[in-house]
Amino acid sequence: MKRTLFLVTMVVLLLLATYASPSTAPKIIAQSIATPAPTDVACESLKDLKLPNTTITAAEFITKKPIEESPGIVVYGPDWKSPKSAFGQVSVPVPFCRVAGTVSPAINFEVWMPPADKWNGRFNGVGNGALAGGINYPAMLGQLTKGYATASTDGGHQSEAIVLGDWMLGNPGLWSDFGYRAIHEMTRKAKAIIEAYYGQPPQYSYFTGCSGGGQQGLAEAQRYPADYDGIVSGAPANCPTRMWPGETWPSYVTHRNEASAIPVEKLALIHEAALAACDALDGVEDGLIDDPRKCDFDPSTLLCKGEDAPDCLTAGQVDSVKKVYEGLKDPTTGEQFWPGYEPGSELGWPGHIGEPFVIPQGYFKGIVFEDPNWDWTTFDFTDPEDFAILYDADARYGPILNATDPDLTAFKELGGKLILWHGWSDQNIAPRNTINYYNNVVAEIGSEAETQEFLRLFLAPGVGHCRGGEGPDTFDALAALEQWVENGIAPDMIIASKVKDGKVVFTRPLCPYPQVAQYKGTGSTDDATNFVCVNPE
């Protein structure tokens, strides 16, 4: 009886605090419930979960923080800020169970899980970008708020910035963690933690990543085909032992001599000339080159008739532009070592035609030459002896760092589905590399029809590296993947949007390669419904 009276009294006091005049109401502050709810207990008990070669370093249910204060009462709600990471720090506006751990020797990971009544039954592992080096909190946040249990890893090493490769020097164990082991270990541990928390495993497991994350997705499909039911691999950096030299090539080209430099101020000129030559090839003038492989733009058309000027290119500049388009080739045989950048990508070249792109420098200094003071200007890409070093490094380190195996038979037989995608105006990773990988899979599987039963490639005109550019860079590949995995509905097209200032500017279908989007001939060219996917002529 006394306990009942006490509870009634507390309720009355809380009601008075809420509805009384602020000037007369007692200042009673609503606090978190002292006794943890069952989900709190289940989460915090995960600190004692025993997993192979793993130490759980944190297990906490993030529930309530003050978010609004007024005279007489403080309103509480979830508003938790993640630790700092090379990928950024985020505020999480929903309650969740956070588990952090380390797999020996140094693979850090986190698993975030919504309460059971908010969980959609799915697990989404998210990838890193560039050289990893931190937990990808922004990607985890996006999936958590949609109801997924999600996980990320630092790739087996910590770095202040995802583009720095100092950790590579003298640490071959970290190379394999970065190349394939970290994501696999994260996935195994995350699934075990999810099952321990909810009392059941995820019904479906998906992986999404772009760039370095795209490489991670392909490594999973090739090495550990049972880890995921479906994978989205965007702009995959799946052949870094060739890609990193290829990304350094434009800097070499533009530093051969003073005349070879391409002024950044002239990139817009080159870009507009490429569009003028090739934009209309698909029947629609929309500022996009639908398939740059059909573009025969010749930068010689911009050759100055006299002295150098802002509206023309010198002979040296023309030659450099051509070589950037051509990509890196064996100086002896002419064989393509790494594809070039496409017409239409020119506005993204500033990071490559000045000082060399920073990411490859870690590879050269830490792995190839094992010299932190190695000077990139001492390497001659046109010297057969120097070029032989690239082949040797490719052979030695490709099995560790690359994810180029086209044999996806095991992934296919397990029912796995894979969506590849790449932006045609990618200024970092050459899109033809992804096309080459797709074609290699087709050759391995035996036919395109059989390949497309589990793997489809989508190319996005005008889209830069993972996002950006003038093309439609906003689309939900994961939703398309889920339909494919869970309902057997293969993606015959993915509707993509170009969004500026929060508003959709235009939409366009992305078509499964080798199909392309073709305008029907009527209606707005800004509306995807006025296009169809067809095989190219």
For the chain, which residues make up each domain, given as ranges?
2-30, 244-395
Rounded to whole angstroms, the Cα distance separating 182 from 186 reads 6
Rounded to whole angstroms, the Cα distance separating 22 from 94 reads 29
Which residue, 125, 126, 138, is CA-closest to 87? Answer: 138
What is the enclosing helix (H) or strand (E) of 143? helix 137-144
pLDDT at position 71: 67
Q: What one-character DSSP code corresponds to residue 446? A: S
Rounded to whole angstroms, the Cα distance separating 125 from 56 reads 18
Amino acid at site 98: R
Q: Which two tokens stand for residue 249?
A: 């090539």
- How would you list the strands of the sheet with 96-103, edge to edge? 54-62, 96-103, 107-113, 149-153, 122-126, 204-210, 230-234, 417-423, 455-460
- One DSSP character per residue, 276-306 reads HHHGGGGS--SS--S-GGG----GGGGB-SS
Rounded to whole angstroms, the Cα distance separating 76 from 64 reads 6
Residues 384/405, Cβ–Cβ less than 8 Å: no
What is the enclosing helix (H) or strand (E) of 247? helix 240-254
Which residue, 185, 141, 204, 133, is CA-closest to 164? Answer: 133
Which residue, 255, 259, 237, is CA-closest to 246? Answer: 237
User: Model confidence over 94-146: pLDDT tens digits?
Assistant: 899 999 999 999 999 999 999 999 999 999 999 999 999 999 999 999 999 99
Which residue, 411, 416, 413, 409, is CA-closest to 229? Answer: 416
- Provide the whole-model pTM: 0.90
Q: What one-character DSSP code corresponds to residue 65? A: E
Which residue, 51, 59, 161, is CA-closest to 107? Answer: 51
- For residue 75, count CB atoms less than 10 angstroms from its CB and return exposed for 0-12, middle for 13-18, buried for 19 or more: exposed
Rounded to whole angstroms, the Cα distance separating 321 from 299 reads 7
pLDDT at position 77: 64
Residues 81/93, Cβ–Cβ less than 8 Å: no
Q: Enumerate the β-bridge partners of residue 149.
A: 123
Residues 393/368, Cβ–Cβ less than 8 Å: yes
Which residue, 306, 342, 535, 502, is CA-closest to 422? Answer: 342
Which residue, 151, 27, 21, 162, is CA-closest to 87? Answer: 162
User: Model confidence over 184-213: pLDDT tens digits?
Assistant: 999 999 999 999 999 999 999 999 999 999
Catalytic residues: 211, 426, 465
Omega cis (within 30) before 105: yes
- One DSSP character per residue, 153-169 reads E-TTS--SSTT--GGGT
Judged by DSSP in three states, 489 sits in coil
The distance of Cα 21 from the centroid of its chain, to the nearest Å, equals 53
Q: Which two tokens stand for residue 339?
A: 């594809």
Q: Enumerate the β-bridge partners of residue 463.
A: 469
pLDDT at position 29: 26
Question: Along the 537 residues of the chain, how does pLDDT read in single tens digits?
Answer: 333 333 333 333 232 232 222 332 222 222 232 333 446 778 999 999 999 999 999 999 998 666 566 666 666 666 789 999 999 999 998 899 999 999 999 999 999 999 999 999 999 999 999 999 999 999 999 999 999 999 999 999 999 999 999 999 999 999 999 999 999 999 999 999 999 999 999 999 999 999 999 999 999 999 999 999 999 999 999 999 999 999 999 999 999 999 999 999 999 999 999 999 999 999 999 999 999 999 999 999 999 999 999 999 999 999 999 999 999 999 999 999 999 999 999 999 999 998 899 999 999 999 999 999 999 999 999 999 999 999 999 999 999 999 999 999 999 999 999 999 999 999 999 999 999 999 999 999 999 999 999 999 999 999 999 999 999 999 999 999 999 999 999 999 999 999 999 999 999 999 999 999 999 999 999 999 999 999 987
Question: β-strand 417-423 against 328-329: which pairing, if any?
Answer: unpaired
Distance from first CA to last CA of the chain, Å, rounded? 85
Judged by DSSP in three states, 253 sits in helix
Residues 331/381, Cβ–Cβ less than 8 Å: yes
pLDDT at position 66: 60
Rounded to whole angstroms, the Cα distance separating 158 from 85 reads 9
Rg over alpha carbons for the chain, rounded to the nearest Å, is 27
Q: Which two tokens stand for residue 278?
A: 């090739």
